């Protein structure tokens, strides 16, 4: 069992705190500028809460789960504990990485046992501890190098965030034609399911894959937003170039 201070009270912090608590670790303290969120999260995991980093408790280590832009500043204020952060892209000197490769929302439950955790630290003893902690909440734990982590995070943005933006565009197009986004959900689910057993490129379908140029022209004619036309052309051209 590890004694942990958790800094942050957002989406990642909520899921991590609950998983660590359920695995038998002790969350000593939740620290966040948002007192209401910190209090609510601390109550769930039987921890104290605080908004002042200067009042951090002694623990085995601290996990910083805050916005990327705030990590370096927060980590610099923690003097007495080993520190790990949860970012996929940020590098902070003398700070380890405890990166869950997943999209998190407070109100949506997740099975963290299936979430990959990527761990790294220059302090090999601390790295070993983090690996053990990660294995207590996940079946998929990886030691990862600095550049690998940043490329992984970039790939995750394409696979998750950009894909979700495509869903948003699709929904807007349907709403404008008085259609329900529910119609597309089986298609979205099957598209995601295909790549569980197939290479994404081999699973690709659609007019660009078939080189149906007239269909592509017809689609572009339906779009009124220049940015969407550019997006459609760019992605279609990427697919057209693939063998």
Q: Kindly state whether residues 106 and 173 are assigned to the same domain.
A: no
Q: How many domains does the chain have?
A: 2
The model's pTM is: 0.86
Q: Kindly state whether residues 133 and 92 are assigned to the same domain.
A: yes
Q: Kindly state whether residues 132 and 13 are assigned to the same domain.
A: yes
Specify the pLDDT at position 242. 87
Question: Which of residues 124, 144, 164 is at a domain's end?
Answer: 144
Q: Which tens digit of pLDDT belongs to each residue from 141-167? A: 999 998 999 999 999 999 999 999 999
Determine contact, residues 152/126, Cβ cutoff 8 Å: no
Q: What domain range is 191 assigned to?
A: 148-241
Question: Which of residues 144, 177, 208 is at a domain's end?
Answer: 144
CATH of the domain at 92: 3.40.50.720
Across the chain, mean pLDDT equals: 93
CATH of the domain at 223: 1.10.1040.20
Q: Is the dihedral of CA 8, 9, 11, 15 positive or negative?
A: positive
Residue 107 has pLDDT above 80, yes or no: no
Q: Kindly state whether residues 114 and 152 are assigned to the same domain.
A: no
- List Cα–Cα distances, 122 to 126, 146, 213, in angstroms: 8, 11, 52
Q: Kindly state whether residues 77 and 59 are assigned to the same domain.
A: yes
Per-residue pLDDT, averaged over 34-47, amounts to: 90
């Amino acid at each position: 069992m590890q004694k942990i201070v958790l800094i942050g009270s957002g989406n990642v912090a909520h899921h991590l705190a609950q998983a660590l608590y359920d695995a038998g670790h002790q969350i000593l303290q939740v620290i966040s500028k948002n007192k209401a969120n910190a209090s609510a999260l601390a109550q769930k995991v039987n921890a104290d809460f605080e908004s002042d980093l200067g009042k951090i408790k002694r623990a085995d280590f601290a996990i910083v789960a805050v916005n990327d832009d705030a990590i370096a500043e927060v980590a610099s204020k923690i003097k007495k504990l080993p520190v790990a952060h949860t970012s996929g892209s940020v590098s902070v000197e003398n700070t380890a990485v405890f990166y869950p490769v997943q999209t998190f929302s407070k109100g949506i439950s997740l099975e963290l046992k299936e979430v990959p955790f990527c761990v790294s630290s220059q302090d090999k003893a601390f790295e070993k501890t983090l690996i053990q902690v990660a294995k207590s909440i996940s079946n998929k734990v990886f030691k990862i190098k600095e550049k690998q982590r940043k490329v992984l995070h970039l790939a995750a943005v394409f696979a998750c965030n950009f894909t979700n933006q495509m869903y948003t565009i699709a929904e807007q197009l349907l709403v404008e034609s008085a259609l329900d986004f529910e119609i597309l959900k089986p298609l979205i689910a099957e598209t995601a399911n295909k790549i569980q057993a197939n290479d994404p490129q081999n699973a690709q379908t659609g007019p660009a894959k078939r080189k149906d140029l007239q269909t592509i022209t017809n689609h572009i004619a339906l779009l009124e937003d220049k940015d969407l036309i550019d997006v459609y052309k760019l992605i279609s051209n990427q697919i057209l170039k693939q063998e």
